[in-house]
Structure 1
Amino acid sequence: MNSFFRLIMLAAIWGGSFLFMRISATPLGPAVLIEARVGFAAVTLLIIAFYLKKQLNMVENAKHYFTLGLFNTALPFLLFAYAAQSLNASTLSIFNSTAPIWGAIIGAIWTRTALTKPVLLGLGLGVIGVSVLVGWEAMSIGENAILPMMAAIGAAVSYGIATNYAKHAPSVEAFNNAHGSMWASVVLVLPLIFFLPAREAPTSEIAMAVILLGVVCTGLAYLLYFRLVSDLGPSSALSVTFLIPVFGILWGHLFLDEAIGFNTVIGSIFVITGTMLVTGFSPRQFFQQKAVQGE
């Protein structure tokens, strides 16, 4: 399996996560859904760790795992699950793709460095794209859309914080980062289920959505992502961000009959273009690199 196919597969899997959240977030509630998601993911990674004979060193790196688990998993997952009760899968996936933009803003503040002109242009386009989505959702859903949209933006901001933390964090193997932070997330989310219990018993459809969300869209997807980072490097692997909305929109349309509106297309174009400028990603250079590598 070549790297480009892995990239497409990962985008399809992560795009599907918003579909599964739309199915299960309302009946289960954000806390129960995400506790189940990270629980299934943690167990999946534990089984793989046993197979690969990888030691986690949970006690030694506890502070690191809990910090990463909070900002890269528990908090954004909960915020997206809350938003998924109101917003459709395509809108959620587009908000998710703004994470690199927030990462750039947070990074500039963190390191006290000025943003370049391409980055500023990208930020501007990203803001326009989000504004198109926000304006349309506010009109179609009403005032009830405001908090879910703020939650979705908050989730993307949380990913931006995690990205910048990871750059200055202790050096830990990528697999262990995924595995350790997932168990930390299980602990962080667990108390919430006692205050925010499930609204109804899960049907077989909801149970299957949660299992796929945890095992495939979280546990196995992390392994696929870190393999891409190893093969292509962080910058090229980040290109998956631009493809996730494509699949988020597609799966929402095919399985939930979500309409693909003009605002969705325009908002996506602005957000994805802005994110490319912020990250410095060039599709032409990416495909030229794949051609040279013979993939």
Structure 2
Amino acid sequence: MNRRAWLLFLLVSFLWGIPYFLIKVAIEDLSPIVVVAGRIAIGALVLIPVAAARGSLAKLRGHTGPVLALSAVHILVPFTLITYGETHISSSLTGLLIAIEPAVIALLMARTEPLNRGRVLGLLVGFAGVAVLVGVDVSGDRWGLLGAAMVLLAALSYAVATILVQRRLSDVPAEALTGATTTISAVILIPFALLALPSEPVGLPAWGALAVLGVFCTAVALLAFYQLIGLAGANRAGLVTYLNPVVAVLLGVLLLDEHLAPSTVAAFALIAAGCWLSTRPSPAPTAPTTPAPVSQPAKVVAGLPSTPGTASDG
């Protein structure tokens, strides 16, 4: 990846590492549906003027189907699943479970990027890490299992969205694409959010968390991520989930007093190792070596060596 791709990678890794903490803060005073609809609506209000100013909204023509699909799999479904999932599990665990996304992308792209032994091993190791993580952290807690299942479905949805952007929407400018998907999602969710508005006063931390979620973790992060897909491809762009959990865990442990057990760290290590193995590029096939032509026996001339360039004896 070039320098710009690396900068986008680091930016998205940070901006998508902090939402889990912010969601936990926001849902203290706001219902999950209000948080989801609010952050998406704020994102749309930021993105649509940017796209209009750049004159890129016209590039959406002819892409209605893929844009609607992307609105569902990259905004509507995962944002809702993650927010409701965090009502049952910690922000740290949420970030760690999302880390399985690169392995899911590798599995979904197996038809175009065949799985070799290393990638298959990576998938097995990564999913074993998820099994350990879920088994240790939420075993016996049916609501915790439900929350974990929601987050894993969100990771699957993110993986589908990443591939969809690369295959069907790579020619659409990022600001037009993000503006359209957030607007569509907001229009769908706002009526439900209006029915769940809080009746009690909402604290400043919740409103602040919602504002940051909308402007930075939605608008800015989506713009950066779609540009990253265009520069680095779906597999590499999905690797932002290597760093997301680190940010999520640090914020959860330091600011929310969430517990981090050694077994959780070990499980994440398995997930990270599995994702790394499953997304490694396949080794390039070695070209068959053409045997050198067998030369005809050289004629021996008196006083000269039989092989050119070889000194004569004595």
TM range (shorter): 0.7 to 0.9
Are residue 30 (structure 1) and residue 29 (structure 2) matched? no
**Aligned residue for 1:39?**
41
**Aligned residue for 1:147?**
146
User: Identity over aligned residues, as a percent?
Assistant: 25
Are residue 68 (structure 1) and residue 70 (structure 2) matched? yes
Q: Normalized per residue, which structure has more helix?
A: 1
1:174 positional shift? 3.0
The alignment's TM-score, normalised by the length of structure 1, stands at 0.84
Cα contact 1:235–1:281 (8 A) shared by 2: no
1:187 positional shift? 2.3
Cα contact 1:45–1:219 (8 A) shared by 2: yes
Cα contact 2:50–2:175 (8 A) shared by 1: no
How many angstroms apart in 2 are the aligned matches of 1:58 and 1:231?
Answer: 20
**Aligned residue for 2:240?**
240
Distance 1:222 1:281, change over 3 A: farther
Bigger Cα Rg: 2
Structure 1 stretches of 5 or more lacking a match?
283-295
How many angstroms apart in 1 are the aligned matches of 2:91 and 2:74?
Answer: 20
Task: Give CA-to-partner distance per residue, 1:109-160, whole Å, 9 cap, x none.
Answer: xx49863212211111111111121112224x72221111110111111112
Cα contact 1:27–1:202 (8 A) shared by 2: yes
How many angstroms apart in 2 are the aligned matches of 1:88 and 1:183?
Answer: 29
1:91 positional shift? 0.9
**Aligned residue for 2:103?**
101
How many angstroms apart in 2 are the aligned matches of 1:197 and 1:274?
Answer: 42
Length, aligned pairs only: 279
Are residue 275 (structure 1) and residue 271 (structure 2) matched? no
Task: Give CA-to-partner distance per residue, 1:150-190, whole Å, 9 cap, x none.
Answer: 10111111112223333442542333222211112112323
1:222 positional shift? 1.9
Alignment of 1:48-87 (within 5 A): 48-56=50-58, 60-87=62-89
**Could you tell which deviates more after superposition, 157-166 or 212-221?**
157-166
**Aligned residue for 2:287?**
none
Are residue 15 (structure 1) and residue 14 (structure 2) matched? no
The two structures, once aligned, show a CA RMSD in angstroms of: 2.7
Specify the SS of the correspondent of 1:259: coil
**Aligned residue for 1:210?**
210
Alignment of 1:117-266 (within 5 A): 117-139=117-139, 142-170=141-169, 171-193=171-193, 198=198, 200-229=200-229, 232=232, 234-266=234-266
1:230 positional shift? 5.1
Specify the SS of the correspondent of 1:28: coil
**Could you tell which deviates more after superposition, 145-154 or 164-173?**
164-173
